[in-house]
Amino acid sequence: METGKHTPTPWKLSESGDETFQMIEGGGNAVYVALTQNVKIGSPIANAKFIVRACNSHEELVNLAHLYKLIISQVPDIHERCSIKVEKARELETVTRSVLAKAEGE
């Protein structure tokens, strides 16, 4: 099933929200409305702000991870050349793969 494209970023927290809901806007439209009554963990406003930050930075972070992946594939010994400890280099590579898998829905 084709889901179509999401509303273009940047998104922002609407000033229309109150203690019962938070609204996120993008492109002049309501993108997401979250009911915030009876929230037991965390702050509804903090959650809405987190959604906005995550959505607005998503594409750039995915591009950064792809760039890193491309660099390490073209220069296999880049970590040694840059004096990066091998365990940290492996950790960075693992995290990059994990981030891309989550971001791209794999």
* Phi then psi dihedrals of residue 68, to 5 deg: -60, -45
Query: What is the reported pTM?
Result: 0.66
> How far apart are the C-alpha atoms of 18 and 36, rounded to whole Å?
9
**E strand or H helix at 73, and its extent?**
helix 44-74
Percentage, residues of the chain above pLDDT 90: 0
Quote the pLDDT of residue 36: 63
Taking 50 as the threshold, does the pLDDT of residue 74 lie above it?
yes
> How far apart are the C-alpha atoms of 37 and 39, rounded to whole Å?
6
Contact in structure between 16 and 23 (CB atoms under 8 Å): yes
Taking 70 as the threshold, does the pLDDT of residue 17 lie above it?
no
Min mean pLDDT across 1-5, 13-17, 85-89, 100-104 is at 1-5
Q: For residue 44, give the 3-state DSSP assignment.
A: helix
Q: Where are the domains of the chain?
A: 11-103
Quote the pLDDT of residue 1: 46
Sequence-distant (6+) residues with CB within 8 A of 96 are: 65, 68, 69
Q: List the structure tokens of 58.
A: 């998503």
Whole-number average pLDDT of the chain: 76
Read off the pLDDT of residues 30-68 as tens digits, 9 standing for 90 and up.
777 776 666 677 777 777 888 888 888 888 888 888 887
